[in-house]
Amino acid sequence: MMFNYLPEDMVVEILSRVPAVSLARLRSTSKIWNALIKDGRLAKKHSANAPRHSMALVLIDHRVYLVRSNLREIHNNVAPFVSVTCHFSLKERLSKHFSTEVDIRDVFHCDGLLLCTTKDYRLVVWNPCSGETRWIQPRDSYKKDDCYALGRSSCNKYKILRQELLINPSQESYVYNIVRGDFLINNNQERYEYEIYDFTSNSWRGVGVSTGLFNPNITTGMSVNGIIYWFDITEQFLLSFDFSTERFGSESLPEDDSHLALSVTRQGKQLCMLSTHSSYVTETNVNLWIATKSSENTEAMSWSKFPILRGGVGLRYRYHFREGVSFFAYQVKEKIVVVSCHRPNRHSKNIIHIAGHGKFIELDHHGAKPKHEFSPTPLLLVYVPSLVQIQHGI
């Protein structure tokens, strides 16, 4: 209450050093606090002054929850702790006095903003900390098979990439080969085009490229330093889209492994990948790969390998490390721990597990769980709370 007697500039300066999650709790205390937290002056100072602590979110049954964990003492054989709590409610205002909670189908994270596809296939950008939302209108209409990713250009402008399926007429057309960087004749009945939504102009525009390769994994891709990465459909290459140049690219992947999922490291902004390698019929090794850009002029991506589980990972655990798994990596001293999430199955009713130090730990976590076996696969993602504002059109 003493803040009421301080100059507003001083209050902004003080709050700019408070973690975003702590500020989010103040939004419901009064209209004054809510307006101040959404103020552009605080958002700008907060970006420069506040500590940036990452956290984990999980999407379960069309709802977003906070995942709290304690993994620091796992190397001392202290039991880790994970709980699913703090439901973040995305609401749509229908009138001045009435709003309703939105069912979320998919989530993509970039710099504290969540790009959400709703259950009825609409698109909204949401900052859970400030509560700010922006519904993105399509140029024509959204379709069930559309895929989206959120990214940032080098001048800190946010954009959305949309991949759209088009039915192709019988005549030949040219499509872009992302890996080779040239155009090929496409005789298929389908092609896939790409659009960019620019928050500054509040409009969609074509990228000028169509491909013959549909990639459903774009929705589970990762945003790192303004570039979106995702697996190609054959898992032979890592595809990328640079929001600064608005160009596609490709990177090589480690050989001999089956690539499962992408994420970012919990402590930083490095891309990482979870993979498996089957050495015997009943055994599967689990590896984590962390990517870095080389210092050479080629800026080629290099990979560092961290064994997570070696040998003895039998059929019970292979059901967990398969397509659809999501994860984040956490470094405990000099060792890596992987927290992963998958749909419950007949081998395990729990959805969150920990692998590392040669151990696979099933966590009977407290909190939300899928309501039934046909629920969508839960999605676990690293989230960096921020008061960043959603750029509005001019």
Residue listed under structure tokens 């499962």: 260
Please give the full DSSP string across 8-40, using - where no structure is assigned: HHHHHHHHTTS-HHHHHTTTTT-HHHHHHHT-H
Q: What is the pLDDT of residue 105?
A: 92
User: Strands 91-93, 190-198: parallel, antiparallel or unpaired by DSSP?
Assistant: unpaired
How many Cα atoms occupy the beta-carbon half-sphere of 392 within 13 Å? 5
pLDDT number for residue 394: 38
Report the pLDDT value the prediction gives residue 115, as an integer from 0 to 100: 95
Can you say whether residue 144 is alpha, beta or left, with left for phi > 0 and alpha for psi between -120 and 50 degrees? alpha
Distance separating alpha carbons of residues 265 and 273, to the nearest angstrom:
10
Cα three-residue angle 142-144-147, rounded to 5 degrees? 75
Q: Name the nearest CA neighbour of 174 among 182, 185, 188, 189.
A: 185
Written in H, E and C, the secondary structure of 308-355 is EECCCCCHHHHCCCCCCCEEEEEEECCEEEEEEECCCECCECCCEEEE
DSSP code at position 265: B
Amino acid at 331: Q
pLDDT in tens, the chain (394 residues): 556 677 878 888 888 888 787 777 777 777 777 777 777 778 778 777 777 778 889 999 899 998 887 776 666 666 677 778 888 889 888 777 788 999 999 999 998 899 999 999 899 999 988 888 999 998 888 888 888 999 988 887 899 999 887 765 455 555 556 655 554 555 555 677 889 999 888 899 988 777 766 566 666 789 888 889 988 777 678 888 999 999 888 888 887 778 888 998 865 578 999 888 776 655 678 889 998 865 444 567 889 888 888 765 555 666 677 778 899 888 766 778 888 888 766 666 677 888 876 677 766 666 667 776 667 788 999 888 888 888 754 3
Q: Which H/E stretch holds residue 229?
A: strand 227-231
Burial class (CB in 10 A: 0-12, 13-18, 19+), 350: middle
Pull the structure tokens for residue 58: 């999980």
Count of other CB atoms within 10 angstroms of residue 308: 26
What domains sit in the chain, N to C, each tagged with a CATH number? 1-53 (no CATH), 54-383 (2.120.10)
